[in-house]
């Protein structure tokens, strides 16, 4: 969809407001909705080569001319859409798996279901998809996690790069439609060009959180069942971005899609999982996140026989041999 969709200003009533009651924050709760975006962001410290800008116009022109069509689009808009890209039989095999496991709207267990289920891996690391991802970032990328729920995450406005170190290369993520995704089911919404905004910075964000909840130690979901850093900080990041969108008049797009369509977005594209306009409407999709293989902290990337990489968590060793053979 190419214009601001109806309902782009719908807000969250559940997690967002309940967060504001909690004592996670270093400022009074009533201030959380009024923190300006500029206080949460800073000029980005790293970028992939295709996104580089040059002061010298001649270099700028040469650089643009060197980019592939996909890279040029990605560098300009912060995302690329690949229509009718994933073969339908791969998606059908995955839908059958979900059915056999009795899943309707819920997630496969954990964030690395692709390690146990080749049907998931065959889609989120589909070789031609990984080839486009490598082309866009100009480096070998591996799958780091998968989200498989058939309902919107209802995650507020953010850039994914703030979940990594401020100096990390921004990751890339994919939104893969496994059925029709219409504007009532809470589609992925995004702001074209927002990957050039000042970047959300975890050191800036930490300033509004009490010590226990700061990045990086607060990043993981807590044993006590408390929320992780990303969600806690949403209580002030989401309103800050929301206000910037309104004040500056940015157009919100949404990814309405058909089975097999894919949207790839850069780790600095501003986006959210919008709330469903029709309660209970399913949103059949798979989301994959991908990062460069060489970065610190990432762990072991297993290599499938077709050459694609995916992060293998420590407890996955007993299952790996089943999925390493490409389907």
Q: How many residues bind Fe ion (CB under 5 A)?
A: 1
Nearer to Fe ion, 189 or 316 (CB): 189
Q: Say if residues 93 and 86 touch (Cβ distance below 8 Å).
A: no
**Contact with ligand AKG (CB under 6 A) among 5, 239, 260, 273:** 273
Q: Say if residues 308 and 125 touch (Cβ distance below 8 Å).
A: yes
Q: Is 190 in the site for ligand AKG (CB under 6 A)?
A: no
Strand partners, 104: none
Count Cβ atoms below 10 Å from residue 143 Cβ, excluding itself.
Answer: 26
By beta carbon distance, the residue nearest ligand AKG is 273
Nearer to ligand AKG, 67 or 268 (CB): 268
Residues with Cβ within 8 Å of residue 238, at least 6 apart in sequence:
12, 16, 156, 157, 158, 272
Q: Is 16 in the site for ligand AKG (CB under 6 A)?
A: no
Nearer to ligand AKG, 41 or 152 (CB): 152
| Residue 199, helix vs strand vs coil | strand
Count Cβ atoms below 10 Å from residue 8 Cβ, excluding itself.
Answer: 19
What tokens were used for 27? 């400022």
Whose tokens are 């490409």? That residue is 326
Give the C-alpha separation, 182 to 186, whole Å: 8
Could you tell me which of 138, 139, 132, 134 has the C-alpha nearest to residue 66? 138
Burial 58-77 (b: 16+ CB within 10 A, else e): eeeeebeeebeebbeebbeb
By beta carbon distance, the residue nearest Fe ion is 160
- What mask, x for binding ligand AKG by CB under 6 A, covers residues 282 to 311? -----x------------------------
**Contact with ligand AKG (CB under 6 A) among 119, 122, 160, 261:** 160
Q: Is 160 in the site for Fe ion (CB under 5 A)?
A: yes
Nearer to ligand AKG, 39 or 153 (CB): 153
The option from ligand AKG, Fe ion, none interacting with 152 (CB < 5 to 8 A, set by class) reads ligand AKG
**Contact with ligand AKG (CB under 6 A) among 141, 173, 176, 291:** 173
Give the C-alpha separation, 283 to 182, whole Å: 8
Q: Is 67 in the site for ligand AKG (CB under 6 A)?
A: no
- Smallest gap from residue 155 Cβ to Fe ion (A): 6
Sign of CA dihedral 180, 182, 188, 190: positive
Q: Is 107 in the site for ligand AKG (CB under 6 A)?
A: no
Burial 261-278 (b: 16+ CB within 10 A, else e): bbbbbbbbbbbbbbbbbe
Q: Say if residues 56 and 272 touch (Cβ distance below 8 Å).
A: no
Stretch binding ligand AKG (CB under 6 A), from 59-67, 79-87, 152-160, 205-213: 152-160
Nearer to ligand AKG, 16 or 188 (CB): 188
Nearer to Fe ion, 116 or 151 (CB): 151
Nearer to Fe ion, 153 or 306 (CB): 153
Give the C-alpha separation, 160 to 165, whole Å: 11
Stretch binding ligand AKG (CB under 6 A), from 88-96, 126-134, 150-158, 295-303: 150-158
Q: Is 234 in the site for Fe ion (CB under 5 A)?
A: no
**Contact with ligand AKG (CB under 6 A) among 188, 213, 236, 290:** 188
Provide the binding-site residues for Fe ion, judged by CB under 5 A: 160
Provide the binding-site residues for ligand AKG, judged by CB under 6 A: 147, 152-153, 155, 160, 173, 188, 271, 273, 287
């Amino acid at each position: 969809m190419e214009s601001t969709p109806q309902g782009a200003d719908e807000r969250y009533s559940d997690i967002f407001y309940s967060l504001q009651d909690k004592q996670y924050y270093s400022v009074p709760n009533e201030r959380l909705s009024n923190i300006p975006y500029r206080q949460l962001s800073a000029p980005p410290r790293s970028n992939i080569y295709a996104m580089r800008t040059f002061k010298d116009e001649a270099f700028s022109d040469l650089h643009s001319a060197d980019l592939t069509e996909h890279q040029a689009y990605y560098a300009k808009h912060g995302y690329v859409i690949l229509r009718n890209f994933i073969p339908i039989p791969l998606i059908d095999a995955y839908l059958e798996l979900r059915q056999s496991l009795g899943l309707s709207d819920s997630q496969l267990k954990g964030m690395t279901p692709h390690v146990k289920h080749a049907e998931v891996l065959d889609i989120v690391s589909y070789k031609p998809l990984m080839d486009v991802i490598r082309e866009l970032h100009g480096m070998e990328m591996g799958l780091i996690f998968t989200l498989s729920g058939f309902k919107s995450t209802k995650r507020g406005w953010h850039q994914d790069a703030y979940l990594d170190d401020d100096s990390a290369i921004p990751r890339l993520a994919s939104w893969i439609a496994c059925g029709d995704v219409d504007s009532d089911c809470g589609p992925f919404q995004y702001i074209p060009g927002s990957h050039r905004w000042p970047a959300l910075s975890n050191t800036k964000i930490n300033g509004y959180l009490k010590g226990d909840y700061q990045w990086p130690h607060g990043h993981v979901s807590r044993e006590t069942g408390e929320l992780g850093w990303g969600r806690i900080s949403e209580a002030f990041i989401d309103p800050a971005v929301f206000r910037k969108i309104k004040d500056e008049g940015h157009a919100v797009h949404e990814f309405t899609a058909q089975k097999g369509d894919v949207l790839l977005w850069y780790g600095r594209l501003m986006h959210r999982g919008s709330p469903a306009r029709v309660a209970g409407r399913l949103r059949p999709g798979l989301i994959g996140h991908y990062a460069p293989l060489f970065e610190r902290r990432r762990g072991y990337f297993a290599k499938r026989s077709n050459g694609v990489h995916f992060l293998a968590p420590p407890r996955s060793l007993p299952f790996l041999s089943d999925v390493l053979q490409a389907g």
